[in-house]
Structure 1
Amino acid sequence: MVRRTFVVNRVPKNGVTSETVCDRENVDIEEAIQLTGNGRYNFLVLFTCCIIMLGAVVDMLGYSLVVPAASCDLDLSLEHSGMLTSVSFAGFIFALPWGYTADTRGRKKALLISSSVGFILSSLTSFSTDFYMMLVLKFLASSFSTASITLTITFLGECTPKEWRNRYMFIQNVFSLAADFVCFALAYFVLPLEFSVPLPLLTTYRPWRLLILLMTVPLGIGSVMMCFLHESPKFLANLGETDNALEVLKSIHKTNNGKHSVYPVKSLMKVDKPDGTISFWRSVIKQTVPIIKPPLLWRSLQLLLLFAICCSTNNVFFMWFPTMVNSFFTTVSEDSRFCEKVVANITPSSYNETCIDADPINTIYSGLLFTLFFTSFNMIIIALSNWRRTLMISTFIISGVSCILVDMVRQPAASMVFFIAIQFTGICIGTVGSYYVDIFPTSYRGLATSLGMMFARFVCLGGVNVVGATIVDYCRITFYGWSIFVFSGIIAAFYLPGEPKADSITRVDKVI
């Protein structure tokens, strides 16, 4: 019989219990993380992951503003512009290898490599001399930087006490959505600049090159900050390195509670250490097969769909936001519906008439206002982070209904509001990520999350091109078809695990 005397009378704001008993042995890793509290170290992890997430998303989405500005210097055709705009999503083809690396070599190591190399390659992209050089460099850079998006979700979730996890995921998602605002803000300040600096082997160094360089800065800062963090204690414990995991937990506890505090855990529950002699391919199969067979198969498919809806609905229409909004506001007719106003100026010839160095200022203003509202709204709903399933279903309803109404009303302001509301699904990206942390075992979590994000970004890649191919001739049908896609997420979300009970954080373990 094991005597357990862990008693909790109440949980203060920092997450440290008011009564604990020292010298506890064979403690489960989830409970051990709980006992480290919630303090300075957790804030540092949160801030680092948020900065890396911000940098990766800015680097990915910012090309919707860079490509039009670079069209003159690089002599870009319509086809070239489309390829450069969507190539960032193609980098997710390497999500599975990155997930495997995170599950076998460590979350911290994978994050360090992906963010630092992504920063270097993205910076080099600003020196591209032609379309092909930019395409290759951007593809290579995105294959590293985009991996950081999924890796930060896993790393943050594993380093955060359970009762704070959902809220931290939402905060991280705020930075992901704030990336849209950062893209437009940087474009507002940089693209209107007028300078031309001759450089060796380059035609000129112009504002769009500086914009690319500035968009990579958060990735560089985040990679430096990662050097000051520990490896995920959950990963170490699951690998069988319980002594190392315990040292990490002690350090986290000391950072959160002061150097004179005493961490009550003396040993962690042992797990079977994996066989180090297993071959590479057998290791890959061992990591992958459990995700695609029962009992995890249903959850994998369910979260794949939800990730795809949340990411693609937000990203696809964001990538088309500058083009659609510019066409919407330049159409003279006031009584036209949304599709009529948008399609009026979206024609293949409109891309080749002039060489544009910067997006129209009205479009940038609209993007700034839209992304500022979107980010602020997401910060407000952090208070609802514990009602994940309800929030997700409500968001899908708003987005799906907006797809239907966007072209049904004739009032321009209402049409624009519905077009913006379609992209509300991005609010739930962090929510889906938190379900991956809760549902999948540590051994497969990084790979499962990377698989979900990879599938979602491939849907984004296809969605950008599908919308571009159908919006002129089948605009209304495009929005109606997308509403069906979003509504399917309501059914999938309905079968997610229920909301946590109010008393799940405060518990008393009886003496056995």
Structure 2
Amino acid sequence: MYNVVPTKSDLDNVEIEEALDLTGHGRYDLLLLFSCCIIHLGAIIDLLGYSLVVPAASCDLQLSLEDSGMLTSVSFAGFMSALFWGYSTDKYGRKKALLISSSVGFIMSSLTSFSTSFYMMLILKFLATIFSTASITLTITFLGECTSKRRRNRYLFTQNVFSLAADFVCFGMAYFILPLDFNIPLPLLTSYRPWRLMSLLMTTPLGIGSLMTCFLYESPKFLANVGKTDKALEILTAMYEANNGKGSVYPVKSLMKVDRPDGSISFWDSVVSQTVPIFRPPLLWRSLQIFLLFSICCATNNVFYVWFPTMVNSFFTTASEDISFCEKIVANITPVKLNETCIDTNPTNTIYVGLLSSLFFTILNIVIIPVANWRKTLMVCTFALSGVCCIIVDMVRQPVASMVIFIAIQVTAISVGGVGSYCVDLFPTSYRGLATSLGMLFTRLICLSGVNIVGATIIDYCRVTFYCWAVFVFSGILAALLLPSEVKSSERNRT
């Protein structure tokens, strides 16, 4: 049942990375992985799931087209708190930040399902995503630091499977819940309808994940980095016993000491000391590189996901087949006046395509886990495929083929785990949490801009929009090729 790692006895002054490797692999690692995956799933659902909830809520909340657009994109604004979360996780600990973000995010998102007006939903959703979206980056940092370098890439790619599965979960819930026909009068609410149930159920993974976090230990790397080597050794010993069974003796007797940071500096000086090194050589180039790669991986998926229901619905409701993809998707995208039409549920064809595409990407991510250590090659291949699909999507006139090509544009999402693992490799422990959070902040700003740019240009400049996005994706190939080799990145991972 356990994978016991053969070790020497009574090892002293051991480096933290080596000490982590010696904990073996077993129950604790699996609990850690499952907990982070569940939280990551919940945070992604909370981020993207509202693109399916908002149209169904338009009748009850009397939402205009502009209102729906704001509610759909407000989730990305939650990343404006990335600096706070990045600083907090590097200053006070990974577990504490993850527990607070997931639990408060769960509570606030649950309250959102009881919204009675546009403004109430907008405010509650914004507050919820300030906490819940932080869990996306926190799980990357926490999982990456608490696993041995031999399994780190595979674990982060496994976590990304849950990220991609979030789309499938959202469309699956929409398929089963939104078509339901019930209307239960409740005090203070107009009525309790299917979209409220779906909104509430979407918060469940965050709640489960926050409970599971209570059974996890703080990152030993973080503790060792702030000078608490005795506490780090205590946690490493507990991890070893959980992985290898009670009665087994952890061979490490002491950890290599790390200079403790000066605790007498002011709060703002501390913020500056944590932030400035990320944007100053030698980390500046790596920061920009990682930020760009995160943006390409996430924005390409998220932006087209947000517009996915609108584009696919228009695609399937256009009768003519001998026209290009752009001509089909813009044919029925027209401004709708308030109260002109009120649609509670998403078209069946859109849900079917969403289910199939998300299932495909989830399975694809599972298939590539065994080759997760080839992360640079995977990155280059996915970026190349996505860019080519952006170029040819409007050239193919066969409906099924053009829809497959459109879906393939979002393949960049499977490289998020690889970029996350490079964050662990390239940034020192003192700045890792903040660097990852700022990377996601930059990414979500690109997402927010991308959603609005695509919405403003897709009708009049559809083909040009896809061509410009291809240039954006192709730039990631150059950035990926300039990443260090696997050997070099592994060597740098000892900080």
1:342 equivalent in structure 2 = 329
* 2:100 is the counterpart of 1:121: no
Kindly provide the amino acid, as one letter, of the partner of residue 225 in structure 2: N
* 2:246 is the counterpart of 1:253: no
1:357 equivalent in structure 2 = 344
2:200 equivalent in structure 1 = 213
1:453 equivalent in structure 2 = 440
2:430 equivalent in structure 1 = 443
Kindly provide the amino acid, as one letter, of the partner of residue 63 in structure 1: Y
For residues 64 and 181 of structure 1, what CA distance do their matches in structure 2 show? 13
Q: Note the C-alpha offset of 1:59.
A: 0.8
1:326-363 CA-to-partner distances (Å, cap 9, x unmatched) read 11011000101000000000111388641111101111
* 2:35 is the counterpart of 1:58: no
2:233 aligned counterpart, secondary structure: helix
Kindly provide the amino acid, as one letter, of the partner of residue 5 in structure 2: T
For residues 172 and 357 of structure 1, what CA distance do their matches in structure 2 show? 33
For residues 14 and 489 of structure 1, what CA distance do their matches in structure 2 show? 40
1:88-144 CA-to-partner distances (Å, cap 9, x unmatched) read 000000011001000000000000000000000000000111000000000000000
* 2:301 is the counterpart of 1:314: yes
Of the three residues 142, 158, 181, the one matched with 1:155 is 142
2:423 aligned counterpart, secondary structure: helix
Kindly provide the amino acid, as one letter, of the partner of residue 17 in structure 1: V
In 2 relative to 1, CA 205–123 (structure 1 residues): closer, same or farther, beyond 3 Å? Answer: same
For residues 245 and 52 of structure 2, what CA distance do their matches in structure 1 show? 46
1:510 equivalent in structure 2 = none
In 2 relative to 1, CA 51–362 (structure 1 residues): closer, same or farther, beyond 3 Å? Answer: same
Kindly provide the amino acid, as one letter, of the partner of residue 133 in structure 2: T
Q: Is the contact made by 1:68 and 1:356 (CA closer than 8 Å) also made in structure 2? A: yes
TM-score (norm 2): 0.97
- 1:14-53 to 2 correspondences below 5 Å: 16-18=4-6, 20-53=7-40
- 1:187-336 to 2 correspondences below 5 Å: 187-336=174-323
2:117 equivalent in structure 1 = 130
For residues 249 and 121 of structure 1, what CA distance do their matches in structure 2 show? 34
Q: Note the C-alpha offset of 1:275.
A: 1.8
2:163 equivalent in structure 1 = 176
* 2:428 is the counterpart of 1:428: no
For residues 335 and 201 of structure 1, what CA distance do their matches in structure 2 show? 51
1:38 aligned counterpart, secondary structure: coil
Q: Is the contact made by 1:169 and 1:430 (CA closer than 8 Å) also made in structure 2? A: yes
TM-score (norm 1): 0.94
1:429-481 CA-to-partner distances (Å, cap 9, x unmatched) read 11111000001000000000000011101111111111111111110000000
1:275 aligned counterpart, secondary structure: coil
1:3 equivalent in structure 2 = none
1:499 equivalent in structure 2 = 486
1:270-327 CA-to-partner distances (Å, cap 9, x unmatched) read 0111222211001000100110000000000001100000000000001111111111
1:341-398 CA-to-partner distances (Å, cap 9, x unmatched) read 0000011138864111110111111111111111111110112201010110000000
1:146 equivalent in structure 2 = 133
List structure 1 segments (4+ residues) > 4 angstroms apart after TM superposition.
13-16
For residues 130 and 171 of structure 2, what CA distance do their matches in structure 1 show? 23
Q: Is the contact made by 1:16 and 1:35 (CA closer than 8 Å) also made in structure 2? A: no
1:68 equivalent in structure 2 = 55
Q: Which runs of 5+ in 1 are unaligned?
A: 1-12, 505-512
Q: Is the contact made by 1:386 and 1:500 (CA closer than 8 Å) also made in structure 2? A: no
Q: Is the contact made by 1:59 and 1:216 (CA closer than 8 Å) also made in structure 2? A: yes
Kindly provide the amino acid, as one letter, of the partner of residue 347 in structure 1: T
Of the three residues 57, 69, 94, the one matched with 2:81 is 94
For residues 103 and 366 of structure 2, what CA distance do their matches in structure 1 show? 28
- Superposition CA RMSD, Å: 1.4
Q: Which runs of 5+ in 2 are unaligned?
A: none
In 2 relative to 1, CA 294–14 (structure 1 residues): closer, same or farther, beyond 3 Å? Answer: farther
Q: Is the contact made by 1:197 and 1:206 (CA closer than 8 Å) also made in structure 2? A: yes
2:336 aligned counterpart, secondary structure: helix
Q: Is the contact made by 2:379 and 2:415 (CA closer than 8 Å) also made in structure 1? A: yes
Q: Is the contact made by 1:99 and 1:449 (CA closer than 8 Å) also made in structure 2? A: yes
2:72 equivalent in structure 1 = 85
Q: Is the contact made by 1:15 and 1:34 (CA closer than 8 Å) also made in structure 2? A: no
1:204 aligned counterpart, secondary structure: coil
Q: Note the C-alpha offset of 1:199.
A: 1.2
Q: Note the C-alpha offset of 1:60.
A: 0.8
Kindly provide the amino acid, as one letter, of the partner of residue 467 in structure 1: V
Q: Quick one: percent identity of the two aligned structures?
A: 73
2:189 aligned counterpart, secondary structure: coil
For residues 281 and 244 of structure 1, what CA distance do their matches in structure 2 show? 28
- 1:394-409 to 2 correspondences below 5 Å: 394-409=381-396
